[in-house]
Amino acid sequence: MAMDTVTDVLVVGAGAMGAQIAMACALAGYRVSVTDISAESLARALTSLRELTERRVSKGRLSAADRDAAFGRLTFTADLQTAAPSADFVIEAAVEDLAVKRELFARLDALCPAHAILASNSSSFVPSRLAAATQRPDRVCNLHFFNPALVMKCVEVVRGPRTSDETTQAAVTLAERLGKEPVVMAREISGFIANRIINAIRDEAVFLLEGGYATVTDIDRACRAALGHPMGPFELQDMTGLDIGYASKQGRYQDSGDPADAPPRSLAERVRAGHLGRKTGQGWYRYDADGNQAGEA
């Protein structure tokens, strides 16, 4: 479909990523509905966005008028059945669980108008695995934003084997209108571009840690001081959430069947213990009540 005809965007999933993707779309002038099965998540998303945009206004990065206009274009609802029929472009940002996503894409396929594009923010699951749950594989792709979605410029546009040129171009155009820098993958592969490169660094960092070659702190310090990275691999995992990294590794392992792609022991142990990074107060590092690093975990 032509992006000139897109006026309504539906974001499914009101977590940190979904909320910021929705705000990016609203700031770009689109009418946006945010849906989630949890009323608590919807309320938390609204509160988070109000706090985030208020900080931007106070720092002069956003005008109060533009903020108010964006919120005027945002709707939060737990009723997917009501929100979906008006959507021109859907961005799914639900939990990284393939069964959940496939069920959701099947529902969206049934509820959304025939012209609507169904895009996933997932980096764990390629478009073909989601398109197979729909009757519109030509209008399914991945539109992968990076955290935090309001700040990070890159958006990966991933086409599946049956994604049409028109759908790909519409996804690219949407990303551009959000002020992002889209990169297109001509063929799908789990992890896409950036995360495959990041994961290679993370895998080597975990290898060095588990082998007793260096500590978490010193590995992160080397990546900052020697390689110029703004954050070390363990700091970055704590920021994005160890559960997200675990899901990404698990998704690649499910695709390849190669044990080398499975989540590493030290990561799996932390996820099982509920130590998911900054959001839980402990991951590779411990964090105080203000979110400041308080030493290795």
pLDDT of residue 280: 96
The two tokens of residue 24 are 């990016």
Q: Give tens-digit pLDDT for 29-45.
A: 999 999 999 999 999 99
Statement: residue 270 has pLDDT above 80: yes
Q: What is the pLDDT of residue 252?
A: 81
Question: Is the pLDDT assigned to residue 124 strictly greater than 90?
Answer: no
C-beta of residue 157 within 8 angstroms of C-beta of residue 184: yes
Say how many CA atoms lie within 13 Å of 10 toward its Cβ: 30
Instruction: Give pLDDT tens digits for 101-119.
Output: 999 999 999 999 999 999 9
Report DSSP letters for 96-121, one per residue: S-HHHHHHHHHHHHHHS-TT-EEEE-
Q: How confident is the model at residue 49 (pLDDT cuts 50, 70, 90)?
A: very high
What is residue 191's predicted lDDT score, i.e. its pLDDT?
Answer: 85
CA atoms of 229 and 98, how far apart (whole Å): 32
Selection from 199, 194, 193, 188 nearest residue 262 by Cα: 199
Instruction: Give the residue numbers annotated as catalytic, written as ranges.
Output: 123, 144, 156, 195
Give the type of residue at 146: F
The pLDDT of residue 194 is 92
Does the pLDDT at position 273 exceed 90?
yes
Q: Which CATH class is domain 195-291?
A: mainly alpha
**pLDDT at residue 3 in the model:** 62
Does 233 have pLDDT greater than 70?
Answer: yes
* Confidence band, pLDDT 50/70/90 cuts, at residue 2: low
Indicate the Cα dihedral angle 256, 260, 262, 263, nearest 10°.
-150
5 compared with 130, residue with greater pLDDT:
130
| 38-47, 78-87, 175-184, 247-256: least confident range | 247-256
**Taking CA 216 as the corner, what is the angle to CA 214 and CA 218, rounded to the nearest 5 degrees?**
60
Q: What angle do CA 63, 69, 73 make, to 5 degrees?
A: 145
Q: Where in the chain is the domain with CATH 1.10.1040.10?
A: 195-291
CA dihedral 182, 146, 25, 133 (to 10 degrees): 80
- Assigned token pair, 122: 């997932």
Model pLDDT, residue 1? 62
Average pLDDT rounded to a whole number, residues 9-27: 97
Q: How far apart are CA 206 and CA 86, in angstroms?
A: 46
Mean pLDDT along residues 86-95: 97
**For the chain, what percent of residues have pLDDT higher than 90?**
88
User: Could you tell me whether strands 8-12 and 31-35 are parallel, antiparallel, or unpaired per DSSP bridges?
Assistant: parallel
Q: How far is CA 255 from CA 110, 189, 200, 218, 236, in A?
A: 27, 9, 17, 33, 24
**80 has pLDDT over 70:** yes
Average pLDDT, the chain: 95
Q: Where in the chain is the domain with CATH 3.40.50.720?
A: 3-185
Topology classification of domain 3-185:
Rossmann fold (3.40.50)
Task: Report which DSSP code applies to 25.
Answer: H
Instruction: Give residue 65's pLDDT.
Output: 98
Q: How far is CA 199 from the centre of its chain?
A: 16
Over 70: is that where the pLDDT of 139 sits? yes
Q: Tokens in use for 9? A: 């965007």
Q: Of all helices (H) and strands (E), which one includes residue 181?
A: strand 181-185
